[in-house]
Amino acid sequence: MEGLIMSLEIKALYKNFDKISLFSDFNISFQEGTITCILGPSGCGKTTLLNIMGGIIKPDSGQLSGFNEKSISYIFQDPRLLPWKTVEENIEFVLKRDIPAEQRHKVTGQLIRLMELEDFAGYYPSRLSGGMRQRVSIARAFAYPSDVILMDEPLKGLDIKLKLNLVRVFSRMWQADKRTVIFVTHDVDEALLLGSDVIVLSRPPAKILLNRQIDLPFENRSPDSGSLKEMKDSLIDALGN
Amino acid sequence: MEGLIMSLEIKALYKNFDKISLFSDFNISFQEGTITCILGPSGCGKTTLLNIMGGIIKPDSGQLSGFNEKSISYIFQDPRLLPWKTVEENIEFVLKRDIPAEQRHKVTGQLIRLMELEDFAGYYPSRLSGGMRQRVSIARAFAYPSDVILMDEPLKGLDIKLKLNLVRVFSRMWQADKRTVIFVTHDVDEALLLGSDVIVLSRPPAKILLNRQIDLPFENRSPDSGSLKEMKDSLIDALGN
Amino acid sequence: KRSATETGSSKYILATLKGPSAMGMIKMIDSLNNDTGHSVEVKILSEPLQVRKMMLDGSADFAILPTTMAAIMYNKGLKYKLIGVPVWGTLYMVGNNSAINRWEDLKGKRIFVMARGMTPDVMFRYLLTKNGLNPDKDVDLDYSFPTHIDLANAVAAGQAPLAIISEPLASLVMKKNKDIRRIFDLEEEWGKFEDIAVAETAFLGKESVIQKDRETVKRIVSAYALSTEWVNKHPDSAAALIVKYGILPDAEVASRAIPGSHLRFVNAYDAKKEVEDYLYVFYNLNPDITGGKMPDENFIYR
Amino acid sequence: MKISFTGKQYISLASVVFMLLVWKILSLHFKSDFVLPSPEKTLITTLSLFLDGNFLKTVGTTISRGLAGFIISGMLGIGTGILTGINPYVNAFLRPILVTIRSTPVVSIILLALIWLHPGAVPVFIGMLTMFPFICTNVSDGIRSIDNELVVMADFYRVSRKRIVRELYIPAIMPFIVSGASSAMGIGWRAIIIGEVLSQPRYGIGTMMQNAQTFLNADAVIAWTIIAVLISYLFEKTIRWAESKFITWRA
Amino acid sequence: MKISFTGKQYISLASVVFMLLVWKILSLHFKSDFVLPSPEKTLITTLSLFLDGNFLKTVGTTISRGLAGFIISGMLGIGTGILTGINPYVNAFLRPILVTIRSTPVVSIILLALIWLHPGAVPVFIGMLTMFPFICTNVSDGIRSIDNELVVMADFYRVSRKRIVRELYIPAIMPFIVSGASSAMGIGWRAIIIGEVLSQPRYGIGTMMQNAQTFLNADAVIAWTIIAVLISYLFEKTIRWAESKFITWRA
Ligand SMILES: Nc1ncnc2c1ncn2[C@@H]1O[C@H](COP(=O)(O)OP(=O)(O)OP(=O)(O)O)[C@@H](O)[C@H]1O
Ligand SMILES: Nc1ncnc2c1ncn2[C@@H]1O[C@H](COP(=O)(O)OP(=O)(O)OP(=O)(O)O)[C@@H](O)[C@H]1O
Ligand SMILES: [Mg+2]
Ligand SMILES: [Mg+2]
């Protein structure tokens, strides 16, 4: 693995907010075509890191390589839906206008079905439940054609059945195109079910406390048994610090 | 148990939104001084139910008894912080002005410490991370003196350590005053760790699919072993439908 | 600021307009100003609206207004009577076109007049007709500048090569723009047909005051008349006073405007025919200008 | 037309009755038809205006001036408002110009306007000078109050500038646009009428008002005022109705 | 005073230079001091105004009139605006009155105002009639755009009505208040000056303008206009500065 080109890389990252030094000489790299899960205490800078990778926040200093050329989808931590657009329109909003309308419509329709929102395609966000809004936000990110997907707690607020369903759907989708995924979560099980790499960050200034690879195929993963159980314990242990 | 007075009760509840019939002759009751956890698929009407109990949404018809006389705290599904107030001011906002200022300050300070937000007391919400906002919302509900607490996914977006910490703190607090708590969550483990009753709702129109009591003291609960393991499986099973 | 009759205080209020009427009164204003013991206070106002206001709320015991407007006020039931006529025609046709000397020369010309249907417009149309010109066909009347100030500015700026404006603006314009000269004195032209003078401005008195205090009326009338005479005789000294009281910006303009303003104080009952004929011309063309009817004889104080 | 009243309409009616009452009391106080004629008398005058042969022409001309001024100011105002709201440099450039336009009294520029423009166009111009800065300020303040997270989202997904403006900014600032438009129109009618008073075009409510005032027909002045207020009210209603059609997405 | 310019200030300067340039070109075009005197000449006149003994008194009086009108309208407007925003019945009652006030041309009520009020108070009154409806409309539109979830939250926690207004409504509508205040002030100066032109109080920019105009001193008219615009600009700056002090909580 070491020999591969690390195409997404952040080097010597510095970022302060007021008195807080979030990143100070922070280095991290992501292998293309893998799913990297990032865990870490609330407020440690996970969202900030995604925002820096997405170009939304400027770092104080540091080199980012590989992000510029890529097209990126982002499931933001909050759904960020346009209140005046229906579920369908919100998803369709991010699709380029050079895609023919019926194509756009098809993509949108598929994702709406995937998210089990068929009955709500014409609803405005103010009339959706919390979990439904989150699903629209996921659908929007999936609809946008991209090389990299950033996801900030994408599965929060969803019931367990939907969550497992989405994990299944997502791993199937990922197997088809092997996009690079960077996935922030607080749920250790989610990380173990989906991650190719799992990274645990410390409180600020961020350090990488743990970086583990998982080579098992998705189908064989069960967080509460076998080798994953051991990994889960060490993740929880790292997060406990 | 049957013989006890059910002081919080909803009878023959009907509530429609447009074409969707959320509740149709729905009945539920809550024992005073217990923690009731409600689980159910996204969009099944959990938030709506809490809103009805809190008097925020009017039901189409139905009798609510016992809610009126009570003072209620509510952890809303989204934090609902005032953007122009700092963490401290947001918590203090719900305290009555007849409480002396220093008393208010003391309460606020304690909760800020409990939520590990000491360093952020003077921050405006726009500068907080998602999990921090959620914690302010929890602190606000706890600060408000009440007989009943409604909680809509209160622990979402928090890291596992904070979550367990808060569960511990919360169960200690609850043991001291035995308030009535109604707690919506998607996390089966949370429900098993905290609930005196666990209720699973179906898709609309809502039915109670499962209603289980847990008599174990908090200290002895571990969702992945013993009798709780069995209960967990049946909960997940019920949610899978 | 109630009127003298109501408050019992010793001063009568005279509301005059910044223009020829105040110019004629200037000597009187000056002597009143120098001697605080007098029983009259003159207020110099810039808009007829403000004079009307003082008549409506009764705060003016004496007032200056255009005669047509005075007729309106009277016809609407306001208790003010016409005491005298102090100004006799101030309208001129001015322009930078030296080729125009006779009315026929106006044929086909564009002439700027201030407000459609108002006094200067009606008067000018009347004169056109009398001189054998059809106001709607033979000339092109342009109402682009509806107030006298706008029109005066336009004339000074060369934007209105032929226009009907009144004194003292006419003198002011000629001072500011040397190309402009007087072409017709409308008062003179009017006299050629009507054999009367233009009774342009009215000096009014409140009925309650003038009936009770005829003595004061007499005093004011004679002071006003004397002042007017003095002004006509000593235009340069008058001009200095006119500038001093802020009625015009400079003495040269003021002394030129004095002869052009036809200042002459005539008691109303001596000018009865002139007033009536003058009003009748307007009444005939547009009854609204005199308030819908001709004022009855009680309008004139004797 | 079906006439049926809701509670709110009754209250609006009560409000009109209240105003008439205040008016009546004032007119009794002044006891003068020149200062403030009685409501009854004025209402009769108002009705008689409708019968005047030129009534429709007068009102129609003023309304079309108002509409012209409003539409031009609206387009200019929304356009420049969005620009100033988005771009701080455009803002820095335009703000002094806006402040100048906004606070220049009509008296200072009326002569220029009279020289430049046809008398009928002067009121439109004056109306624009009044309405444009408003709409522009409201729109640009609206833009600055847009939830920045939505803008970040749209930028992130490389949505084209044009679509961001059309599908994000415009709907987001709708309340500001409506508020601005409604205020602008309200004061716009006034400006149009003042423009007519000053430029005296052949037809126009302002021309009629000015004539009525010179001839001391206070009842006609007020009658024309009532007509102006009615027109303004109708347009206010229309704007609010349009708002409720546009903004269906609120919970 | 330390003078140092930021990029934006350079642009604002450029904007002023741009306006002067347009002015210069226009004045060259008209070639007449009565229509549009040249900027140089006018600027000299403007400077000479500063030396006039009554300058401070004139400007001071107009400013205090503006402030009086603004403060009264502000208090009334925010108060009634909040009421109309919160309560649809108050809204139904006040809206017709607002529309009436807003669209009644000054000509219709100037006589009443002159009779009622001291000449110095007339401009304040006219200013209020202009500013009040604005602030009120903006505030009430602001209230209607408040995030309802926050209101539900505050109601739920039984926060007192008074505190909800003070700690939720007022901060939430700050952008609307500022926008309204800035527009209102801008147009307010104009109204105050027009009021002075009509009522001719002893001191006042409007009085001076009117005098200059009767004497055909176009340069003085424009010089006073420049002073009015400067005052307006200073107040605009102050309002925006106050806004930035108030709204520190934006990300
Ligand atoms: N605009 C800002 N100004 C000041 N501080 C900020 C700003 N944005 C974020 N922060 C601070 O940066 C820190 C990290 O925030 P971030 O949102 O990246 O945390 P996170 O790891 O995503 O947390 P969570 O799991 O709770 O979402 C927090 O302490 C937060 O207060
Ligand atoms: N104002 C509204 N208008 C129309 N439909 C609504 C409205 N509010 C909620 N609903 C609908 O009611 C249903 C239940 O919503 P609710 O928010 O109670 O779900 P929930 O159980 O809390 O879901 P989640 O777990 O995703 O938060 C959803 O289908 C939603 O679309
Ligand atoms: Mg985060
Ligand atoms: Mg919910």
Nearest-angstrom CA–CA distance, B186 and B154:
10
Nearest-angstrom CA–CA distance, D181 and D73:
10
Under 8 Å between Cβ of A97 and A117: no
- Closest ligand 1 atom, residue B119 Cα: 29
> Which chain D positions have a beta carbon within 8 Å of A85's beta carbon?
167, 249
pLDDT for D250 equals 67
- Give C184 to chain D, closest Cα distance, Å: 25
Q: Report how many Cβ contacts below 8 Å link chain C to chain E.
A: 55
Q: CB-side exposure of A94: number of CA atoms within 13 Å? A: 33
In the predicted model, what is the mean pLDDT of residues A4-11?
73
Q: Is the peptide bond before A205 cis (omega within 30 degrees of 0)?
A: yes
> Which chain C positions have a beta carbon within 8 Å of E218's beta carbon?
153
Question: Which E positions 138-177 lie with beta carbon below 8 A of chain B?
Answer: 149-150, 152-154, 156-160, 163, 167-168, 171-172, 174
Q: What is the DSSP letter of B123?
A: -
A30 touches chain D (CB under 8 A): no
- Give D47 to chain E, closest Cα distance, Å: 18
D211 touches chain C (CB under 8 A): yes
Which residue from A46, A50, A56 has its CB within 8 A of the most atoms of ligand 1, so it is best to mutate? A46
- Tens digit of pLDDT for each residue in B126-156? 999 999 999 999 999 999 989 899 999 999 8
Which residue from B15, B17, B57, B184 has its CB within 8 A of the most atoms of ligand 2, so it is best to mutate? B17
> Which chain D positions have a beta carbon within 8 Å of C291's beta carbon?
215-216
Of C49, C153, C249, Cβ closest to residue E34 = C153
Confidence label for E194 from pLDDT (cuts 50, 70 and 90):
confident
Count how many residues are written for chain E: 251
Burial of A16 by CB count in 10 Å (0-12 exposed, 13-18 middle, 19+ buried)?
A: middle
Q: What is the distance between the terminal CA atoms of chain B, rounded to a whole angstrom?
A: 29
- Give C43 to chain D, closest Cα distance, Å: 21
**pLDDT tens across the length of chain C (302 residues):** 344 444 445 678 888 888 888 888 888 888 887 776 677 888 888 888 888 888 888 888 889 988 888 888 888 888 888 888 888 888 888 888 778 888 888 888 888 988 777 888 888 888 888 888 888 888 888 888 888 888 888 888 888 888 998 888 888 888 888 888 888 888 888 878 777 778 888 888 888 888 888 888 888 888 888 888 888 888 888 888 888 888 888 888 888 888 888 888 888 888 888 888 888 888 888 888 888 888 888 888 87
Of D152, D174, D247, Cβ closest to residue A56 = D152
HEC string of chain E equals CCCCCCHHHHHHHHHHHHHHHHHHHHHHHHCCCCCCCCHHHHHHHHHHHHHCCCHHHHHHHHHHHHHHHHHHHHHHHHHHHHHHHHCHHHHHHHHHHHHHHHHCCHHHHHHHHHHHCCCCHHHHHHHHHHHHHHHHHHHHHHHHCCCHHHHHHHHHCCCCHHHHHHHHHHHHHHHHHHHHHHHHHHHHHHHHHHHHHHHCCCCCHHHHHHHHHHCCCHHHHHHHHHHHHHHHHHHHHHHHHHHHHHCCCCC
Q: What are phi and psi of E204, to 5 degrees?
A: 160, 145
- Give D29 to chain E, closest Cα distance, Å: 12
> Which chain D positions have a beta carbon within 8 Å of C282's beta carbon?
none
- Tens digit of pLDDT for each residue in E11-52? 888 989 999 999 899 888 877 777 788 888 888 888 888 888
Give every CB contact of residue C19 below 8 A, 6+ residues apart in sequence.
C90, C166, C167, C168, C247
The rounded Å distance from CA A138 to ligand 1 centre is 22
- Tens digit of pLDDT for each residue in D211-221? 888 888 888 88
Closest residue to atom 17 of ligand 2, CA basis: A129
pLDDT for E4 equals 57
Going by C-alpha positions, the residue among A94, A113, A118 that lies closest to residue A104 is A94
Going by C-alpha positions, the residue among B67, B113, E102, E55 that lies closest to residue D193 is E102
C152 touches chain E (CB under 8 A): yes
Of E111, E200, E216, Cβ closest to residue C156 = E216
Residue of D nearest to C289 (CA): D215
Q: Do D149 and A82 touch (CB under 8 A)?
A: no
**Which residues have CB atoms below 5 A from the ion given as ligand 4?**
A 129-130; B 47, 77
The rounded Å distance from CA B152 to ligand 4 centre is 7
* Tokens at D59, concatenated: 């009102």
pLDDT surpassing 70 at residue A137? yes
Going by C-alpha positions, the residue among C60, C55, C187 that lies closest to residue C126 is C187
pLDDT for D125 equals 92
Strand order of the sheet with strand A148-152? A72-75, A148-152, A180-184, A35-39, A197-201, A208-213
Residue entry with tokens 């006509």: C232
Whether residue A51 has its Cβ less than 6 Å from ligand 1: no
Question: At how many degrees (to 10) do helices E218-246 and E205-214 cross?
Answer: 160
Nearest-angstrom CA–CA distance, C225 and C28:
9
pLDDT for D36 equals 83
Nearest-angstrom CA–CA distance, C133 and C107:
8
Around ligand 2, the residues with Cβ closer than 6 Å are: A 120, 127-132, 157; B 17-18, 20, 22, 40, 42-48, 77; D 251
Whether residue B122 has its Cβ less than 6 Å from ligand 1: no
pLDDT for A69 equals 79
pLDDT for B80 equals 92
pLDDT for E251 equals 57
Q: What is the DSSP letter of C199?
A: -
Confidence label for A1 from pLDDT (cuts 50, 70 and 90):
very low
- Percentage above 70 pLDDT, chain A: 97
- CB burial of C169-202 (b: ≥16 within 10 Å; e: otherwise) equals bbbbbbbbbeebeebbbbbebbeeeeebbbbbbb
Under 8 Å between Cβ of E138 and E177: yes
> Which chain C positions have a beta carbon within 8 Å of D33's beta carbon?
76-77
Q: What are phi and psi of A61, to 5 degrees?
A: -160, 170
pLDDT for C4 equals 44
Under 8 Å between Cβ of B78 and B136: no
Q: Which numbered ligand comes closest to the C-alpha of A46?
A: 1
- Give C33 to chain E, closest Cα distance, Å: 18
Whether chains B and A touch (3+ CB pairs under 8 A) is answered by yes
ipTM: 0.82
Going by C-alpha positions, the residue among A72, A203, A192, A87 that lies closest to residue A139 is A87
- Give A126 to chain D, closest Cα distance, Å: 5
* Tokens at B7, concatenated: 């002081």
- Give E93 to chain C, closest Cα distance, Å: 33
pLDDT surpassing 60 at residue E110? yes
Question: Which C positions 78-97 lie with beta carbon below 8 A of chain E?
Answer: none
Confidence label for D251 from pLDDT (cuts 50, 70 and 90):
low
HEC string of chain D equals CCCCCCHHHHHHHHHHHHHHHHHHHHHHHHCCCCCCCCHHHHHHHHHHHHHCCCHHHHHHHHHHHHHHHHHHHHHHHHHHHHHHHHCHHHHHHHHHHHHHHHHCCHHHHHHHHHHHCCCCCHHHHHHHHHHHHHHHHHHHHHHHCCCHHHHHHHHHCCCCHHHHHHHHHHHHHHHHHHHHHHHHHHHHHHHHHHHHHHHCCCCCHHHHHHHHHHCCCHHHHHHHHHHHHHHHHHHHHHHHHHHHHHCCCCC
Q: What are phi and psi of B211, to 5 degrees?
A: -145, 105
Q: Do C154 and D34 touch (CB under 8 A)?
A: no
Q: Which numbered ligand comes closest to the C-alpha of A17?
A: 1
Q: Do E157 and B93 touch (CB under 8 A)?
A: yes
Radius of gyration of chain E (CA): 21
Confidence label for D179 from pLDDT (cuts 50, 70 and 90):
confident
The DSSP bridge pattern shows strands A197-201 and A35-39 to be parallel
pLDDT for C32 equals 81
Q: Is the peptide bond before B205 cis (omega within 30 degrees of 0)?
A: yes
pLDDT for B133 equals 94
Confidence label for A232 from pLDDT (cuts 50, 70 and 90):
confident
Q: Do D153 and A71 touch (CB under 8 A)?
A: no
Lowest average pLDDT, out of A84-88, B97-101, E155-159, E175-179, goes to E175-179
Confidence label for A2 from pLDDT (cuts 50, 70 and 90):
very low
Nearest-angstrom CA–CA distance, C56 and C160:
37
pLDDT for E3 equals 52
- Tens digit of pLDDT for each residue in E68-90? 999 999 999 999 999 988 888 88
Mean per-residue pLDDT of chain E: 86
Q: Do E152 and B56 touch (CB under 8 A)?
A: yes
Under 8 Å between Cβ of C258 and C231: yes
Confidence label for D4 from pLDDT (cuts 50, 70 and 90):
low
Closest residue to atom 27 of ligand 2, CA basis: A130
Whether chains C and B touch (3+ CB pairs under 8 A) is answered by no
Confidence label for E2 from pLDDT (cuts 50, 70 and 90):
very low
In the predicted model, what is the mean pLDDT of residues A98-115?
91
- Taken in order of first residue, the domains within chain E and their CATH numbers are 36-250 (1.10.3720.10)
Nearest-angstrom CA–CA distance, C157 and C177:
8
Going by C-alpha positions, the residue among A78, A82, A203, A91 that lies closest to residue A152 is A78
| Amino acid letter for position D222 | I
Nearest-angstrom CA–CA distance, A226 and C90:
113
Nearest-angstrom CA–CA distance, C171 and E47:
28
The DSSP bridge pattern shows strands C263-267 and C80-87 to be antiparallel
Q: What is the distance between the terminal CA atoms of chain E, rounded to a whole angstrom?
A: 31
B83 CB neighbour count, 10 Å cutoff:
16
Nearest-angstrom CA–CA distance, E187 and E174:
20
Choose, out of C47, C49, C54, C56, the residue to mutate when testing the contact with D (most D CBs < 10 Å): C56
Going by C-alpha positions, the residue among E214, D112, E106, E210 that lies closest to residue C144 is D112
Q: Do E167 and B93 touch (CB under 8 A)?
A: yes
Question: Which E positions 153-192 lie with beta carbon below 8 A of chain C?
Answer: none
